[in-house]
Amino acid sequence: MKLENGEYRVEINGISHWIKVEGQENNTIPLFIIHGGPGGNLYFFERTIGPLLSKERTIIYYEQRGCGRSGSPNSDRAFTFQALIDDFKEIQEWTGFEKVDLFGYSFGGELALEISHALPNQINKIILSSPSLIGLKTQYLIQITGFMSIADSNLASTIEQILSQQDSIEEKYFKIWEFVDTETVDRLFFEDQNIAKLYRRLTEESNMVNTGQMLKVLQKNPPQVPLTQRLKDIQQSTLIITGAHDRNAGLPVSNLIHRNLMNSDLIIFNNSAHFPYLEEPENFIYKVLSFLINQ
């Protein structure tokens, strides 16, 4: 089928998925945008950097099952990596493109790698922006350390108290999140607090809420073989862009992914935290388009 620019509602694996096409007139290999969270959406992406990308590339947005404007499954048990991969496969087949590029940010970067591992012949190039690895206990420690680095004295004391308890690292992580306020979260995610305000405004404007349930379910049902042990099997040319001040996923995770991928480049953005495409958009666009065009 020949897709036109616009929004679509498509029934995929029993769930209504929100899909949007931009830049069809560019006739490039389509770049699929894979959002983070887990449980996030694409509202702010399509209102910030998305239009800049679609000036040069064909862009396909889609929101994952149970996320944003897509429908939800009847059971939490339907939130698995395999279900997300199966959804992507069907969406790609619906678009009619045999091979596509992937752009995944945060958890979307991890999902992009899972998709590329499962469907190697269907993926051309991969772009990862501050990717996560939610199955690693290290990921919890990075974020907890990130909170400590920007916490006031009261929060720092609370975090220390929680860490001294006998709970698992996962339980400690979720307890800490119960104590952090909006301003602290903004400092965790962003260096530039003006960008944080824009992000917060668009998040509120979207009227979409991430309950955190998808994250909890995926953490309880990880892949049988951890992604870290399968990264070496992914052959696609991959660009990793991470903010030097990323306190959420962190440079250790990006470095781990970079070291284990066979064909990857890692670029550090010195003025960014977890969202380099929002804090340094011009440089980000330049690096992404150069990668897609020249390699």
Q: In the structure, what pLDDT confidence band is assigned to residue 168 with cuts at 50, 70 and 90?
A: very high
Over range 259-281, report the average pLDDT. Answer: 97
pLDDT at 2: 76
Please write the tens of the pLDDT for every residue from 40-79: 999 999 999 999 999 999 999 999 999 999 999 988 889 9
φ, ψ of residue 182 in degrees (nearest 5): -60, -45
Reply yes or no on whether the pLDDT at 142 is more than 60.
yes
SS3 71: coil
Q: Which two tokens stand for residue 23?
A: 């830049």
Q: Kindly indicate the confidence band of residue 295, based on its pLDDT and cuts at 50, 70 and 90.
A: low
The residue ranking higher by pLDDT, 294 or 14, is 14
Amino acid letter, residue 125: K
Res. 219: pLDDT tops 90: no
Interstrand relation of 123-129 and 237-243 (parallel, antiparallel or unpaired): parallel
**Within a 10 A sphere around the Cβ of 56, how many other Cβ atoms?**
16
pLDDT of residue 245: 97
Please state whether the peptide bond connecting residue 38 to the residue before it is cis, i.e. omega within 30 degrees of 0: yes
pLDDT in tens, 144-156: 999 999 999 999 9
What single DSSP character describes residue 96? T
Average pLDDT for residues 239-250, to the nearest whole number? 97
Share of the chain above pLDDT 70, in %: 99
Each residue's pLDDT tens digit, 81-125: 999 999 999 999 999 999 999 999 999 999 999 999 999 999 999
Per-residue model confidence (pLDDT) at position 288: 98
| Statement: residue 126 has pLDDT above 90 | yes
For residue 84, what pLDDT is reported? 98
The token pair that represents 65 in the structure block: 């099952």
3-state SS assignment for residue 222: coil
On the CB side of 187, how many CA atoms lie within 13 Å of its CA? 13
Q: What are phi and psi of 77, to 5 degrees?
A: -65, -15
Check pLDDT > 80 for residue 294: no
Q: What confidence score (pLDDT) does residue 216 get?
A: 87
Average pLDDT value for residue range 208-219: 90
- Which residues are 242's β-sheet partners? 268
Q: Is the peptide bond before 222 cis (omega within 30 degrees of 0)?
A: no
According to DSSP, the residues that pair with 237 across neighbouring strands are 125
Cross-strand partners of 254: none
Chain-centroid distance of CA 14 in Å reads 24
- Among residues 227, 186, 243, the alpha carbon closest in space to that of 82 is found at 227
CA distance 221 to 224: 9
Q: What percent of the chain has pLDDT over 90?
A: 92
Question: What's the whole-number average pLDDT of the chain?
Answer: 95
Look-up of token digits 């550090």: 268
51 CB contacts (<8 Å, ≥6 apart)? 22
> What's the pLDDT score for residue 1?
59
Q: How far apart are CA 79 and CA 278, in angstroms?
A: 28
pLDDT at residue 212, as a whole number: 86
